[in-house]
Amino acid sequence: MTDQEEVTALLQKLEPGLGEIIQELRQIILAADPEVGERIKWNNPSFYYTGDMKPFDPKEYKREIIVFNLFKGRIMLVFPSGAKVNDTTGFLEGDYKDGRRTHVFKEMADVKANEKMLQQIVQQWLKLIDK
């Protein structure tokens, strides 16, 4: 299966309400930029930069934009290097020493209300890539 087919297959196994919200988030993230790709990483949908980058240690996760954390019916988006994005809105939450930031979506209305913000965060992150 392709990466996209693996993501689709995972979503089809989820409870319908949760799957619909994740599908909407998936489309929003992929529409942010043509160089955003998706795959399953750490057993969850994951979004990453597909373009060329300067060499780096893979343990730095510089290519990773967002990794979903689906646990007990919640949808947490983990931005592994979200601290690099200058978010003054409070959309990105947490102050983790490793530089990650998060955002939790609970329902479709929350997704719709934050669609533009999510795309802006992804686009800002892409501008910071060391190419």
Class of domain 3-127: alpha beta
pTM: predicted TM-score of the whole model, two decimal places: 0.92
Q: How many other β-carbons are positioned within 10 Å of the β-carbon of residue 79?
A: 26
Sorting pLDDT into bands at 50, 70 and 90, what band is 112? very high
Residue 88 has pLDDT above 90, yes or no: yes
Q: Identify the pLDDT of residue 109.
A: 95
Tokens of 68: 């979903």
Tens digits of residue pLDDT in 23-34: 999 999 999 999
Maximum Cα interatomic distance, the chain, rounded to a whole number of Å: 40
Residue 15: name the closest of 67, 103, 78, 74 by CA. Answer: 74
pLDDT digits (tens, 9 = 90+) for 39-82: 999 899 999 999 998 888 877 778 999 999 987 778 999 999 99
How far is it, in rounded angstroms, from Cα 71 to Cα 76? 8
